[in-house]
Chains A and B, each alone.
Chain A
Amino acid sequence: MPQYKRPPITEAVIEIRFEQPFPRPEVDKLQQRFRSEYAFSEDFIAYEISVNPAARRADFEEQSSGYKLSSADRADVLLVTSAHVTCSRLAPYVGWDRFRARAEDHWRTWKRVTGYRKISRIGVRFINRIDIPAAGGEEVKISDYLRVHPEAPAVKRMVSYAMQMAGPLEEDDCRFVINSSLVPPPLVDHASVILDIDVSRAGDPPQKDDEIWALIDRIRVHKNHIFEESVTDKARELFNA
Protein backbone atom coordinates (compact mmCIF):
# COMPACT_ATOMS: atom_id res chain seq x y z
CA MET A 1 0.00 0.00 0.00
CA PRO A 2 1.42 3.45 -0.86
CA GLN A 3 2.50 5.73 1.96
CA TYR A 4 0.28 8.78 1.83
CA LYS A 5 1.45 12.21 2.91
CA ARG A 6 -1.86 12.86 4.64
CA PRO A 7 -3.54 9.50 5.26
CA PRO A 8 -7.30 9.90 5.73
CA ILE A 9 -7.28 7.52 8.71
CA THR A 10 -9.21 8.89 11.69
CA GLU A 11 -8.95 5.72 13.74
CA ALA A 12 -7.08 2.41 13.56
CA VAL A 13 -8.21 -0.47 15.77
CA ILE A 14 -6.88 -3.92 16.67
CA GLU A 15 -9.35 -5.88 18.75
CA ILE A 16 -9.27 -9.31 20.37
CA ARG A 17 -12.54 -10.59 21.84
CA PHE A 18 -12.91 -13.37 24.38
CA GLU A 19 -15.41 -16.18 24.51
CA GLN A 20 -16.19 -15.64 28.19
CA PRO A 21 -16.31 -12.23 29.90
CA PHE A 22 -13.83 -11.55 32.68
CA PRO A 23 -14.94 -11.04 36.26
CA ARG A 24 -14.74 -7.38 37.32
CA PRO A 25 -11.78 -7.82 39.77
CA GLU A 26 -9.68 -9.06 36.87
CA VAL A 27 -10.62 -6.04 34.74
CA ASP A 28 -9.62 -3.79 37.65
CA LYS A 29 -6.31 -5.62 37.93
CA LEU A 30 -5.65 -5.07 34.23
CA GLN A 31 -6.51 -1.39 34.53
CA GLN A 32 -4.01 -1.07 37.40
CA ARG A 33 -1.36 -2.81 35.32
CA PHE A 34 -1.78 -0.50 32.31
CA ARG A 35 -2.54 2.69 34.25
CA SER A 36 1.07 3.90 34.42
CA GLU A 37 1.38 3.84 30.63
CA TYR A 38 -1.56 6.18 30.02
CA ALA A 39 -2.24 9.68 31.33
CA PHE A 40 -6.01 9.23 31.67
CA SER A 41 -8.38 6.50 32.76
CA GLU A 42 -12.17 6.72 32.46
CA ASP A 43 -14.87 4.21 33.38
CA PHE A 44 -17.37 3.11 30.85
CA ILE A 45 -20.26 0.71 30.38
CA ALA A 46 -21.29 -0.53 26.95
CA TYR A 47 -24.97 -1.34 26.96
CA GLU A 48 -27.80 -2.41 24.74
CA ILE A 49 -31.33 -1.11 25.11
CA SER A 50 -34.12 -3.18 23.64
CA VAL A 51 -37.61 -1.78 23.43
CA ASN A 52 -40.67 -3.97 23.29
CA PRO A 53 -43.57 -1.66 22.36
CA ALA A 54 -46.18 -4.44 22.57
CA ALA A 55 -45.25 -5.13 26.19
CA ARG A 56 -44.51 -1.43 26.82
CA ARG A 57 -41.16 -2.43 28.20
CA ALA A 58 -37.55 -1.37 27.70
CA ASP A 59 -34.68 -3.58 28.82
CA PHE A 60 -31.22 -2.37 29.67
CA GLU A 61 -28.52 -4.95 29.21
CA GLU A 62 -24.92 -4.34 30.18
CA GLN A 63 -22.67 -5.81 27.50
CA SER A 64 -19.30 -5.05 28.92
CA SER A 65 -17.74 -2.66 31.34
CA GLY A 66 -14.27 -1.47 32.01
CA TYR A 67 -11.89 1.38 31.39
CA LYS A 68 -10.85 3.64 28.57
CA LEU A 69 -7.19 4.54 28.98
CA SER A 70 -5.86 7.45 26.91
CA SER A 71 -2.50 9.05 26.31
CA ALA A 72 -1.94 12.72 27.20
CA ASP A 73 -2.75 13.78 23.61
CA ARG A 74 -5.75 11.37 23.60
CA ALA A 75 -4.53 9.75 20.38
CA ASP A 76 -3.49 6.38 21.86
CA VAL A 77 -6.38 4.54 23.46
CA LEU A 78 -6.64 1.18 25.18
CA LEU A 79 -10.04 -0.24 26.08
CA VAL A 80 -9.76 -2.65 28.98
CA THR A 81 -13.09 -4.39 29.27
CA SER A 82 -14.69 -7.57 30.47
CA ALA A 83 -15.24 -8.73 26.89
CA HIS A 84 -12.33 -7.59 24.76
CA VAL A 85 -8.98 -5.86 24.54
CA THR A 86 -9.05 -3.05 22.02
CA CYS A 87 -6.03 -1.03 21.04
CA SER A 88 -6.85 2.11 19.11
CA ARG A 89 -4.94 4.95 17.51
CA LEU A 90 -6.67 8.17 16.51
CA ALA A 91 -5.19 10.56 13.94
CA PRO A 92 -2.39 11.33 13.33
CA TYR A 93 -1.73 7.73 12.32
CA VAL A 94 1.79 6.71 13.25
CA GLY A 95 2.15 3.80 10.86
CA TRP A 96 1.37 0.11 11.18
CA ASP A 97 4.68 -0.95 12.74
CA ARG A 98 4.37 1.37 15.74
CA PHE A 99 0.67 0.76 16.19
CA ARG A 100 0.98 -3.02 15.95
CA ALA A 101 3.99 -3.05 18.30
CA ARG A 102 1.97 -1.23 20.98
CA ALA A 103 -0.97 -3.60 20.54
CA GLU A 104 1.23 -6.69 20.70
CA ASP A 105 3.06 -5.40 23.74
CA HIS A 106 -0.28 -4.82 25.50
CA TRP A 107 -1.48 -8.25 24.51
CA ARG A 108 1.57 -9.91 26.06
CA THR A 109 1.09 -7.93 29.28
CA TRP A 110 -2.61 -8.79 29.26
CA LYS A 111 -1.85 -12.50 29.03
CA ARG A 112 0.68 -12.32 31.84
CA VAL A 113 -2.05 -10.89 34.08
CA THR A 114 -4.99 -13.08 33.06
CA GLY A 115 -3.41 -16.25 31.72
CA TYR A 116 -4.86 -18.01 28.69
CA ARG A 117 -8.46 -17.16 27.76
CA LYS A 118 -10.20 -18.53 24.73
CA ILE A 119 -10.38 -15.97 21.91
CA SER A 120 -13.62 -15.75 19.96
CA ARG A 121 -12.79 -13.04 17.41
CA ILE A 122 -9.80 -11.11 16.06
CA GLY A 123 -10.40 -7.94 14.08
CA VAL A 124 -8.64 -4.98 12.48
CA ARG A 125 -10.64 -1.87 11.67
CA PHE A 126 -9.62 1.34 9.93
CA ILE A 127 -11.96 4.33 9.74
CA ASN A 128 -11.10 6.77 6.96
CA ARG A 129 -12.67 10.13 6.26
CA ILE A 130 -12.23 11.67 2.84
CA ASP A 131 -12.61 15.44 2.85
CA ILE A 132 -13.58 16.51 -0.64
CA PRO A 133 -13.25 20.19 -1.63
CA ALA A 134 -16.60 21.72 -2.58
CA ALA A 135 -15.98 25.46 -2.60
CA GLY A 136 -18.97 27.67 -3.24
CA GLY A 137 -21.47 24.81 -3.15
CA GLU A 138 -19.71 23.06 -6.04
CA GLU A 139 -21.31 19.69 -6.75
CA VAL A 140 -19.33 16.62 -5.77
CA LYS A 141 -19.56 13.32 -7.58
CA ILE A 142 -18.75 10.57 -5.10
CA SER A 143 -17.78 8.20 -7.87
CA ASP A 144 -14.86 10.53 -8.66
CA TYR A 145 -13.40 9.63 -5.28
CA LEU A 146 -14.90 6.34 -4.12
CA ARG A 147 -15.61 3.15 -5.96
CA VAL A 148 -17.90 2.08 -3.13
CA HIS A 149 -21.03 4.19 -3.22
CA PRO A 150 -24.78 3.92 -3.73
CA GLU A 151 -26.02 4.38 -7.27
CA ALA A 152 -29.45 4.54 -8.84
CA PRO A 153 -30.18 5.79 -12.37
CA ALA A 154 -33.17 7.80 -11.13
CA VAL A 155 -31.14 9.63 -8.48
CA LYS A 156 -29.36 12.74 -9.68
CA ARG A 157 -28.67 14.52 -6.38
CA MET A 158 -28.13 13.16 -2.88
CA VAL A 159 -28.13 14.89 0.49
CA SER A 160 -27.42 11.83 2.62
CA TYR A 161 -26.58 8.18 2.47
CA ALA A 162 -25.39 5.39 4.74
CA MET A 163 -24.58 1.93 3.53
CA GLN A 164 -23.07 -1.28 4.75
CA MET A 165 -21.68 -4.27 2.92
CA ALA A 166 -20.53 -7.42 4.65
CA GLY A 167 -19.34 -10.74 3.38
CA PRO A 168 -16.73 -13.45 3.50
CA LEU A 169 -13.19 -13.01 2.25
CA GLU A 170 -11.74 -15.82 0.27
CA GLU A 171 -8.59 -15.94 2.33
CA ASP A 172 -7.95 -16.71 6.00
CA ASP A 173 -11.60 -17.50 6.70
CA CYS A 174 -12.18 -13.80 7.35
CA ARG A 175 -15.20 -11.58 7.01
CA PHE A 176 -15.29 -7.95 5.92
CA VAL A 177 -17.65 -5.15 6.85
CA ILE A 178 -17.53 -1.92 4.86
CA ASN A 179 -19.50 1.05 6.15
CA SER A 180 -19.77 4.26 4.23
CA SER A 181 -21.78 7.38 4.84
CA LEU A 182 -21.83 11.10 4.46
CA VAL A 183 -20.77 12.87 7.67
CA PRO A 184 -20.62 16.49 8.82
CA PRO A 185 -17.54 17.97 7.12
CA PRO A 186 -15.05 19.31 9.67
CA LEU A 187 -13.73 21.72 7.02
CA VAL A 188 -15.61 24.65 5.56
CA ASP A 189 -16.48 24.23 1.86
CA HIS A 190 -15.92 20.48 1.86
CA ALA A 191 -18.06 17.36 1.74
CA SER A 192 -16.86 14.46 3.88
CA VAL A 193 -17.39 10.77 3.29
CA ILE A 194 -16.53 7.91 5.61
CA LEU A 195 -14.98 4.68 4.40
CA ASP A 196 -14.87 2.32 7.36
CA ILE A 197 -13.28 -1.09 6.76
CA ASP A 198 -13.36 -3.88 9.33
CA VAL A 199 -11.83 -7.29 8.62
CA SER A 200 -12.15 -10.01 11.22
CA ARG A 201 -12.07 -13.70 11.88
CA ALA A 202 -14.65 -15.10 14.24
CA GLY A 203 -14.77 -18.76 13.25
CA ASP A 204 -12.07 -20.71 15.04
CA PRO A 205 -9.54 -17.88 15.42
CA PRO A 206 -5.96 -18.82 16.35
CA GLN A 207 -5.14 -19.02 20.04
CA LYS A 208 -1.33 -19.01 19.98
CA ASP A 209 0.49 -15.68 20.06
CA ASP A 210 2.60 -16.10 16.93
CA GLU A 211 -0.44 -17.30 14.96
CA ILE A 212 -2.60 -14.44 16.32
CA TRP A 213 -0.14 -11.78 15.16
CA ALA A 214 0.55 -13.49 11.86
CA LEU A 215 -3.22 -13.42 11.24
CA ILE A 216 -3.46 -9.75 12.27
CA ASP A 217 -0.69 -8.92 9.77
CA ARG A 218 -2.53 -10.78 7.02
CA ILE A 219 -5.82 -9.13 7.96
CA ARG A 220 -4.13 -5.77 7.53
CA VAL A 221 -3.06 -6.77 4.01
CA HIS A 222 -6.67 -7.73 3.21
CA LYS A 223 -7.88 -4.44 4.68
CA ASN A 224 -5.36 -2.48 2.60
CA HIS A 225 -6.44 -4.31 -0.52
CA ILE A 226 -10.09 -3.40 0.12
CA PHE A 227 -9.11 0.22 0.73
CA GLU A 228 -7.04 0.56 -2.43
CA GLU A 229 -9.78 -1.06 -4.47
CA SER A 230 -12.33 1.33 -2.97
CA VAL A 231 -10.67 4.67 -3.73
CA THR A 232 -9.87 6.41 -7.01
CA ASP A 233 -6.72 8.23 -8.13
CA LYS A 234 -8.50 11.51 -7.50
CA ALA A 235 -8.95 10.53 -3.86
CA ARG A 236 -5.27 9.53 -3.70
CA GLU A 237 -4.39 13.02 -4.89
CA LEU A 238 -6.19 14.42 -1.85
CA PHE A 239 -4.19 12.13 0.48
CA ASN A 240 -0.96 13.43 -1.06
CA ALA A 241 -1.89 17.10 -1.42
Chain B
Amino acid sequence: MSAVLAVPTRGAEFARAFPGPVLSPPSEGASDDAKRIRDCLAEIKNWASRRLGSAIDPRVLKRQPASTTERLHAALASAKVMTSEVVMHLDREWRDRLFAQLDDLLAVEDWHEDDEPLLDESFRTFLRLILYQKPKRRPGLGLSHRGHLIAAWTAGADRLTLECASDDTVRWVLSCEINGERERAAGETHVARLPQILQPYRPDRWFADADQAAG
Protein backbone atom coordinates (compact mmCIF):
# COMPACT_ATOMS: atom_id res chain seq x y z
CA MET B 1 0.00 0.00 0.00
CA SER B 2 1.44 3.37 -0.91
CA ALA B 3 1.79 6.21 1.57
CA VAL B 4 -0.71 9.03 1.84
CA LEU B 5 0.22 12.69 1.92
CA ALA B 6 -0.33 14.19 5.32
CA VAL B 7 0.37 17.81 4.46
CA PRO B 8 -1.41 20.86 5.83
CA THR B 9 -3.46 22.62 3.18
CA ARG B 10 -4.61 25.64 5.16
CA GLY B 11 -4.19 27.64 8.32
CA ALA B 12 -1.17 28.51 10.43
CA GLU B 13 0.12 24.98 10.09
CA PHE B 14 0.33 25.49 6.33
CA ALA B 15 2.28 28.72 6.73
CA ARG B 16 4.75 26.99 9.05
CA ALA B 17 5.31 24.05 6.70
CA PHE B 18 5.87 26.20 3.65
CA PRO B 19 6.89 28.51 1.77
CA GLY B 20 9.76 26.20 0.84
CA PRO B 21 9.59 22.51 0.12
CA VAL B 22 10.85 20.93 3.28
CA LEU B 23 13.45 18.23 3.25
CA SER B 24 14.26 16.69 6.57
CA PRO B 25 17.97 16.45 7.33
CA PRO B 26 18.99 13.08 8.76
CA SER B 27 21.23 12.69 11.82
CA GLU B 28 24.82 13.63 11.07
CA GLY B 29 27.22 10.94 9.83
CA ALA B 30 31.00 10.71 9.43
CA SER B 31 31.43 8.39 6.48
CA ASP B 32 31.96 9.27 2.83
CA ASP B 33 28.49 7.90 2.12
CA ALA B 34 27.01 10.29 4.68
CA LYS B 35 28.81 13.16 2.94
CA ARG B 36 27.55 12.05 -0.48
CA ILE B 37 23.99 11.92 0.81
CA ARG B 38 24.37 15.37 2.37
CA ASP B 39 25.63 16.78 -0.94
CA CYS B 40 22.82 15.04 -2.77
CA LEU B 41 20.18 16.51 -0.42
CA ALA B 42 21.70 19.96 -0.93
CA GLU B 43 21.36 19.53 -4.69
CA ILE B 44 17.75 18.38 -4.35
CA LYS B 45 16.99 21.30 -2.07
CA ASN B 46 18.55 23.64 -4.57
CA TRP B 47 16.32 22.27 -7.31
CA ALA B 48 13.20 22.01 -5.19
CA SER B 49 13.46 25.51 -3.73
CA ARG B 50 13.45 26.92 -7.20
CA ARG B 51 10.58 29.26 -7.69
CA LEU B 52 7.96 27.60 -9.83
CA GLY B 53 7.14 29.06 -13.14
CA SER B 54 10.33 31.04 -13.23
CA ALA B 55 12.66 30.73 -16.14
CA ILE B 56 15.55 31.68 -13.94
CA ASP B 57 17.95 29.33 -12.25
CA PRO B 58 17.96 29.40 -8.40
CA ARG B 59 21.52 30.60 -8.43
CA VAL B 60 20.72 33.66 -10.43
CA LEU B 61 21.78 36.88 -8.81
CA LYS B 62 18.99 39.43 -8.94
CA ARG B 63 19.69 43.06 -8.49
CA GLN B 64 17.71 44.76 -5.74
CA PRO B 65 15.39 47.25 -7.48
CA ALA B 66 16.39 50.75 -6.46
CA SER B 67 14.15 53.40 -7.98
CA THR B 68 10.38 53.63 -7.57
CA THR B 69 9.94 52.70 -11.22
CA GLU B 70 12.09 49.61 -10.76
CA ARG B 71 10.24 48.60 -7.60
CA LEU B 72 6.88 48.97 -9.30
CA HIS B 73 8.04 47.00 -12.34
CA ALA B 74 9.39 44.27 -10.06
CA ALA B 75 6.12 44.09 -8.11
CA LEU B 76 4.08 43.96 -11.31
CA ALA B 77 6.33 41.28 -12.81
CA SER B 78 6.12 39.22 -9.67
CA ALA B 79 2.31 39.45 -9.57
CA LYS B 80 2.03 38.38 -13.20
CA VAL B 81 4.39 35.45 -12.74
CA MET B 82 2.46 34.36 -9.63
CA THR B 83 -0.77 34.54 -11.61
CA SER B 84 0.76 32.43 -14.36
CA GLU B 85 1.40 29.72 -11.76
CA VAL B 86 -2.35 29.27 -11.23
CA VAL B 87 -3.67 30.46 -14.55
CA MET B 88 -4.90 26.98 -15.48
CA HIS B 89 -7.55 27.48 -12.80
CA LEU B 90 -8.66 30.90 -14.08
CA ASP B 91 -10.70 31.91 -17.12
CA ARG B 92 -8.71 33.67 -19.82
CA GLU B 93 -10.92 36.74 -19.44
CA TRP B 94 -10.30 36.85 -15.69
CA ARG B 95 -6.55 36.78 -16.24
CA ASP B 96 -6.56 39.45 -18.93
CA ARG B 97 -8.78 41.75 -16.87
CA LEU B 98 -6.72 41.17 -13.75
CA PHE B 99 -3.51 42.06 -15.61
CA ALA B 100 -5.12 45.25 -16.91
CA GLN B 101 -6.17 46.17 -13.35
CA LEU B 102 -2.66 45.49 -12.04
CA ASP B 103 -1.15 47.61 -14.83
CA ASP B 104 -3.37 50.51 -13.73
CA LEU B 105 -2.80 49.93 -10.03
CA LEU B 106 0.98 49.96 -10.31
CA ALA B 107 1.27 52.72 -12.91
CA VAL B 108 4.38 54.82 -12.24
CA GLU B 109 2.75 58.13 -13.17
CA ASP B 110 0.09 57.87 -10.42
CA TRP B 111 2.44 56.61 -7.72
CA HIS B 112 3.16 58.26 -4.36
CA GLU B 113 6.79 57.80 -3.33
CA ASP B 114 5.89 56.89 0.27
CA ASP B 115 3.56 54.03 -0.65
CA GLU B 116 4.68 50.44 -0.61
CA PRO B 117 4.28 48.57 -3.94
CA LEU B 118 2.15 45.44 -3.97
CA LEU B 119 3.65 42.80 -1.66
CA ASP B 120 4.05 39.26 -2.98
CA GLU B 121 2.57 37.75 0.20
CA SER B 122 -0.55 39.88 -0.14
CA PHE B 123 -1.02 39.04 -3.81
CA ARG B 124 -0.57 35.34 -3.06
CA THR B 125 -3.38 35.56 -0.50
CA PHE B 126 -5.54 37.37 -3.07
CA LEU B 127 -5.03 34.64 -5.66
CA ARG B 128 -5.80 31.92 -3.13
CA LEU B 129 -8.90 33.83 -2.07
CA ILE B 130 -10.17 34.20 -5.63
CA LEU B 131 -9.50 30.56 -6.48
CA TYR B 132 -11.22 29.39 -3.30
CA GLN B 133 -14.20 31.72 -3.30
CA LYS B 134 -14.59 31.64 -7.11
CA PRO B 135 -16.58 34.88 -7.41
CA LYS B 136 -18.30 35.28 -10.77
CA ARG B 137 -18.06 39.04 -10.54
CA ARG B 138 -14.59 40.61 -10.60
CA PRO B 139 -13.68 42.95 -7.74
CA GLY B 140 -12.39 46.49 -8.01
CA LEU B 141 -8.78 46.57 -6.83
CA GLY B 142 -6.91 49.02 -4.66
CA LEU B 143 -3.73 49.07 -2.64
CA SER B 144 -3.15 50.00 1.00
CA HIS B 145 -0.13 52.16 1.83
CA ARG B 146 1.44 49.00 3.33
CA GLY B 147 1.30 47.21 -0.03
CA HIS B 148 -1.73 45.03 0.74
CA LEU B 149 -4.12 44.39 -2.11
CA ILE B 150 -7.68 45.50 -1.43
CA ALA B 151 -10.52 43.83 -3.32
CA ALA B 152 -13.93 45.50 -3.25
CA TRP B 153 -17.33 44.42 -4.48
CA THR B 154 -20.25 46.83 -4.61
CA ALA B 155 -23.91 46.00 -5.26
CA GLY B 156 -26.05 49.15 -4.99
CA ALA B 157 -25.33 50.52 -1.53
CA ASP B 158 -24.02 47.16 -0.27
CA ARG B 159 -20.25 46.98 -0.13
CA LEU B 160 -17.72 44.30 0.74
CA THR B 161 -14.01 45.13 1.11
CA LEU B 162 -11.32 42.53 1.63
CA GLU B 163 -7.74 43.48 2.49
CA CYS B 164 -5.36 40.64 1.70
CA ALA B 165 -2.49 40.30 4.17
CA SER B 166 0.17 37.58 4.30
CA ASP B 167 -0.35 33.87 5.01
CA ASP B 168 -3.97 33.72 3.81
CA THR B 169 -5.12 36.35 6.31
CA VAL B 170 -8.00 38.55 5.14
CA ARG B 171 -9.37 41.66 6.83
CA TRP B 172 -12.99 42.14 5.85
CA VAL B 173 -15.33 45.08 6.14
CA LEU B 174 -18.91 45.06 4.90
CA SER B 175 -21.97 47.17 4.85
CA CYS B 176 -25.26 45.75 3.62
CA GLU B 177 -28.98 45.85 4.09
CA ILE B 178 -30.54 42.93 5.97
CA ASN B 179 -34.33 42.85 6.52
CA GLY B 180 -34.53 46.56 5.80
CA GLU B 181 -31.82 47.45 8.31
CA ARG B 182 -28.30 48.54 7.36
CA GLU B 183 -25.73 46.35 9.03
CA ARG B 184 -22.00 46.94 9.28
CA ALA B 185 -19.41 44.36 10.29
CA ALA B 186 -15.67 43.82 10.17
CA GLY B 187 -13.13 41.24 11.18
CA GLU B 188 -10.05 39.25 10.32
CA THR B 189 -10.03 35.65 9.20
CA HIS B 190 -8.39 32.99 7.09
CA VAL B 191 -9.22 32.62 3.38
CA ALA B 192 -10.71 29.18 4.01
CA ARG B 193 -13.06 30.52 6.72
CA LEU B 194 -14.35 33.44 4.69
CA PRO B 195 -17.33 31.64 3.08
CA GLN B 196 -18.73 30.75 6.53
CA ILE B 197 -18.10 34.27 7.85
CA LEU B 198 -19.92 35.90 4.93
CA GLN B 199 -22.75 33.36 4.69
CA PRO B 200 -25.23 35.29 6.92
CA TYR B 201 -24.81 38.35 4.69
CA ARG B 202 -25.78 36.46 1.50
CA PRO B 203 -22.49 37.05 -0.33
CA ASP B 204 -24.03 36.23 -3.71
CA ARG B 205 -25.18 39.85 -3.76
CA TRP B 206 -21.48 40.66 -4.40
CA PHE B 207 -20.03 37.52 -5.94
CA ALA B 208 -22.70 36.28 -8.34
CA ASP B 209 -23.13 37.51 -11.90
CA ALA B 210 -25.02 40.78 -12.13
CA ASP B 211 -28.03 38.97 -13.65
CA GLN B 212 -28.00 36.31 -10.96
CA ALA B 213 -27.66 38.90 -8.23
CA ALA B 214 -30.57 40.88 -9.58
CA GLY B 215 -32.70 37.72 -9.66
Contacts and interface: CB of A to CB of B under 8 A. Distances in A.
Contacts of B80: 73-75
Nearest to A9: B88
A70 B76 CA distance: 12
B57 A184 contact: no
Instruction: Tell me if A's interface is mostly helix, strand, loop or mixed.
Output: strand
Interface string B36-66: 0000000011011000111111011111000
A74 B103 CA distance: 12
B60 A181 contact: no
B7 A159 contact: yes
A1 interface: no
Nearest to B192: A188
Interface string B105-118: 00000000000000
Contact of B9 (A43, A70, A79, A134): A134
Interface string B137-181: 000000000000000000000000000000010000000000000
A49 B73 CA distance: 29
Contact of A44 (B8, B18, B45, B61): B61
B190 to A, nearest CB: 9
A143 B60 CA distance: 34
B99 to A, nearest CB: 6
Interface residues of B, number: 54
Contact of B84 (A10, A45, A79): A10
B30 interface: no
A43 B85 CA distance: 23
A90 B5 contact: no
Contacts of B52: 10-11, 127, 129, 183, 194
Contacts of B73: 40
Contacts of B87: 91-92
Given A43-B63, A45-B60, A92-B95, 17 more contacts: A7-B88, A44-B62, A73-B99, A74-B81, A75-B84, A91-B53, A91-B85, A134-B7, A139-B4, A141-B3, A142-B2, A150-B3, A156-B3, A158-B3, A158-B4, A186-B85, A188-B9
24 contacts: A7-B88, A42-B62, A44-B56, A46-B60, A47-B60, A74-B80, A79-B55, A79-B56, A91-B53, A91-B84, A92-B84, A127-B52, A129-B52, A140-B7, A141-B2, A159-B7, A181-B44, A186-B124, A186-B127, A187-B131, A188-B131, A189-B10, A189-B192, A194-B52
